[in-house]
Amino acid sequence: AQSVTQPDIHITVSEGASLELRCNYSYGATPYLFWYVQSPGQGLQLLLKYFSGDTLVQGIKGFEAEFKRSQSSFNLRKPSVHWSDAAEYFCAVGEGNNDMRFGAGTRLTVKP
C-alpha cells in the first residue's frame, strides 16, 4: 500500500535561512507527488506537483522540490524563508484514479 512519511514533525528556521522539508514515499510505481501548505483556519493550497519528466519542479511562492527515485524522496526546498511561510506542510502521493495519501505534516515556525 502506498504511504507517505514526513520525518520531521516540527522545524524552526530563521527568517532568510534556507529550508528543506523531507518526504519519503512507499509505492510500487512512479507516483504522482504533491506538496500542499495549510495555514491556520485555511484549506490546503497546492505548492507544486510532480507527474513525470524533469525531477526538479518549481512551485509557487519560491518553493521547489526534487524527486529522487533511488531514495524514494520528494523533499521541498526554499532558498530563503519569509515569515509568511510559517504554516503546516503536507506531502502527498497519488496514482491514477485513486485517492491521495497524505503525510502527517511538518509544522514550520519562522524566527524573526
Partner 1 sequence: DTGVSQDPRHKITKRGQNVTFRCDPISEHNRLYWYRQTLGQGPEFLTYFQNEAQLEKSRLLSDRFSAERPKGSFSTLEIQRTEQGDSAMYLCASRRGGAGGKDGANVLTFGAGSRLTVL
Choose, by CB under 8 A, the member of 19, 32, 66, 75 that binds partner 1: 32
SS3 of 61, please?
helix
Please tell me the distance from the alpha carbon of residue 58 to that of residue 65, in angstroms, as a whole number. 7
The distance of closest approach from Cβ of residue 112 to partner 1 in the complex, given in angstroms and rounded to an integer, is: 25
Q: Which of residues 40-59 bind partner 1 (CB under 8 A)?
A: 41-46, 49, 51-53
The x, y and z cell numbers of residue 66, run together, are: 526534487
* 60 scored as a contact of partner 1 (CB under 8 A): no
Contact criterion met (CB below 8 Å) for 39 and 59: no
Using the minimum distance from each CB to partner 1, give the nearer residue, 40 or 112.
40
Considering only the stretches 14-22, 68-76, 78-86, 99-107, report the one whose residues sit in contact with partner 1 under the rule CB under 8 A: 99-107
Of 25, 28, 16, whose CA–CA distance to 65 is shortest? 25
The distance of closest approach from Cβ of residue 51 to partner 1 in the complex, given in angstroms and rounded to an integer, is: 5
Contact criterion met (CB below 8 Å) for 54 and 38: no
